[in-house]
Structure 1
């Protein structure tokens, strides 16, 4: 590998002759590890032109380094870092330095409290044989080839403005148009482009909604619920009311008086997978109107309705403009994409756009345009159908294995989804169960962090099946059942 000539700069404050300074510059690059053994240096002519010095000066510096075994010459090929050049020194681990800042006093607000966003999923989850984890993509199902082609198309000259220009607070018009004309009508939602905002995933959308609507206000959330939502609302200094869900999701009559904003996951309640039936959806809208409250609807998994068509979105039933809709491509494309959207009345979207612009301007233009091509060319719909077919097959295997081993299902999505909400026997701590199962290459997700308040329960856990092939599910469930049967060290 050749070392770029642009790497070399003569410091104007360095002492000595030009030859000595060039010599020192090369030697320091070798000693600090920037120039590796065997790498080729620029030719004497090229380096001399770059530095604005005579070629003989560079040649003399190289010759001296050659004599000291920093460099080696290979016939007409040029100069290379010698295989015998000194090793960069190992200074070891830097010593601990005294930190004289009182961070308890210095921090105006804390954001690191609570469970990590990864919720205990190991970064190396792919090395486990039985990964019953939720929310990760299966690389065998993703359409790599067409995504790559769409990314290359987005890099083309025709898309140059979308790729390179600062769009300030604007979004990619092709992506917004596709969402308005194709994605939202499938949920019964009709929206103008001015009522849509692209976000960095559903999490960013929930944060924007919380900052604008819930700061310092009385807010109702489901219990259990997505743990990061509670963190977002606490950071907004919201006053939380925890509303216990049942087998049909959020009971509208349980939303307390004084509530200004209701956060809910009606299609696939997180984490129980309960689906809010139509009568409850209408009752929730009526309850919100009675309280003068707004509703933030997180419709995070509607594309995974492969068993039966999904229930209509709350937003599609809303005649007052009080529902803010949150959508995401993370579950149907891949979580690392970090692309979602907010849909709401123009006054709300205007404020959300201004808040987003003050933090990150807009999601990267190249990502938006690539997604727009992938969606508009039909690759997205084909991918959703392929994922739905695979998840349906895996769910059938999961349910058969769970029933065969007598494990208790506490919640399953009526329309599909990618996980089962499980309940272990009384007294079992699912956190300890997960820890013991890791030794057998089995990953499950303990459920305690989904709960808050007095209803916190240790015995619930979630089994995802989006990342585990069908042929491994039976053996994995058998290991879970065997561990529960033994009961050793699980309480």
Structure 2
């Protein structure tokens, strides 16, 4: 019986993809085996022939094949090359589960309270790097990051000396090395003094906010949020059953005298209001703390971007002024390192942190030990401070370019962090629908963030949008702004008039 041969034509490589060529080859082979297109004993194309067909180095194919042998998908036979292995029952079961199934007849609305998929949110395309003019907030320019230093720190974290600590189950605890660096180096920059039992590592600031929300809403909660404000905070509170009151901000942020007396928690971004960039003045901070003491509520401070200060020093954190222990502080490494890292920290009274640790352990135990230790080395060895220095210099240049480009347009700067930051809050001409504008700008290879999701209410303002400059090189900003202004000049993004 002739040996079946797997044709090289089934292989296709997307060389613009972020995935490595080896990964794409392995995925093609595994897919063909699990879908029964390649039967056990079938002969794979030789590494030379497949490399020639794909126009890549022969070593790339060889390494991919060797990895598949190690995984049990291929067998290496002397003089016969690589053959499809007879995979075991567990792998066959995996294949069976991966096949598309009928949706079934279950009415999931009977089990689910409401759909989170339809909520208002700031959307960021996964493949945004393919767009020449990405004015996205919270994304990073990888050219500014020291990949070699991070790789060295990751290698140290995997070393024999650290492996036992890093690879174990921390249970409700965290990597002591990372916690100590946060306590001794990060928090003092914000004027905060904390003991280790007052600090917990989180899977980003979002995770910290969610844990606090879950803890506070176990009892009936009347919460206050800023308007406009960070939409995920408002929606998480409502999802967990809180009664949320939103208070309109002015040019200086939240107005403490508008907080209702029955409030139990205030969620605020005092140092860099999201999304306008306003900084809460010192007198308002003291008034907010006095109101918290008088009316017996707690404050959740989201201090998400204090490192990006290149025009002036950021104001002291609200937590640093808190003498009564009413402020819960949420910090993040996402803006300074990279968002995919998903590491942040929560600072609060020992009683609250202990509860947060136990709640976290019910969900995910703890953030990955290897990431915590790698980040700890990166911070402790000075790479973090150098990165912050370089980012501040570059963001200062980009902000100046953006402001000059905007000055000759009809776009108004409606908010900007006085100390720096990495974005501008803008207002288009009256009547503009920036959701529609964002869709139209896709044709111009420009990405912007409409402002509607930041507003609470049935009919949010439509003219606002946010332009970030952390993700776009300085030399592309002027042309990107020009394209936005040109699209606005056509009038095609005007919202339809309400009857």
TM-score, normalization by structure 2: 0.81
**Matched position secondary structure for 1:350:** helix
Rounded Cα–Cα distance in structure 2 between residues aligned with 1:212 and 1:466: 34
| 1:289-328 equivalences in 2 (<5 Å) | 289-328=293-332
Aligned to 2:275: 271
Task: Give the one of 100, 103, 114 matched to 2:119.
Answer: 114
Aligned to 1:367: 371
Rounded Cα–Cα distance in structure 2 between residues aligned with 1:173 and 1:228: 30
Task: Give the one of 182, 185, 189 matched to 2:188.
Answer: 185
Report deviation, 1:327. 0.3
Task: Give the one of 317, 334, 337 matched to 2:338.
Answer: 334
**Matched position secondary structure for 1:361:** coil
| 1:445-484 equivalences in 2 (<5 Å) | 445-453=449-457, 456-484=460-488
Contact kept, 8 Å, 1:39 with 1:81, in 2: the verdict is no
Contact kept, 8 Å, 2:455 with 2:461, in 1: the verdict is yes
Aligned to 1:100: 105
Distance of aligned partners of 1:296 and 1:34 in 2 relative to their CA distance in 1, 3 Å threshold = farther
Task: Give the one of 183, 202, 207 matched to 1:204.
Answer: 207
Aligned to 1:81: 83
Report deviation, 1:34. 7.2
Greater Rg over alpha carbons, structure: 1
| 1:27-426 equivalences in 2 (<5 Å) | 31-33=36-38, 37-38=43-44, 77-78=79-80, 80-81=82-83, 97=102, 99-107=104-112, 110-116=115-121, 119-215=122-218, 216-426=220-430
Report deviation, 1:32. 4.7
Report deviation, 1:280. 1.0
Report deviation, 1:31. 3.9
Contact kept, 8 Å, 1:187 with 1:313, in 2: the verdict is yes
**Matched position secondary structure for 1:302:** coil
Contact kept, 8 Å, 2:172 with 2:357, in 1: the verdict is yes
Contact kept, 8 Å, 1:214 with 1:261, in 2: the verdict is no
Rounded Cα–Cα distance in structure 2 between residues aligned with 1:472 and 1:127: 14
Give structure 2 stretches of 5+ with no counterpart.
1-31, 47-73, 85-95
Rounded Cα–Cα distance in structure 1 between residues aligned with 2:277 and 2:76: 68
Q: CA RMSD in A?
A: 2.4
Report deviation, 1:136. 0.5
What is the CA deviation profile of residues 231-265 of structure 1, one whole-angstrom value per residue up to 9, with x for unaligned ones? 21112100000111111011111111100000000
Rounded Cα–Cα distance in structure 1 between residues aligned with 2:39 and 2:273: 52
What is the CA deviation profile of residues 133-152 of structure 1, one whole-angstrom value per residue up to 9, with x for unaligned ones? 11111010011010000000
Task: Give the one of 439, 445, 454 matched to 2:443.
Answer: 439
Contact kept, 8 Å, 1:300 with 1:327, in 2: the verdict is yes
**Matched position secondary structure for 1:326:** strand
**Matched position secondary structure for 1:453:** coil
Contact kept, 8 Å, 1:171 with 1:197, in 2: the verdict is yes
**Matched position secondary structure for 2:396:** helix
Contact kept, 8 Å, 1:262 with 1:293, in 2: the verdict is yes
Distance of aligned partners of 1:228 and 1:28 in 2 relative to their CA distance in 1, 3 Å threshold = closer
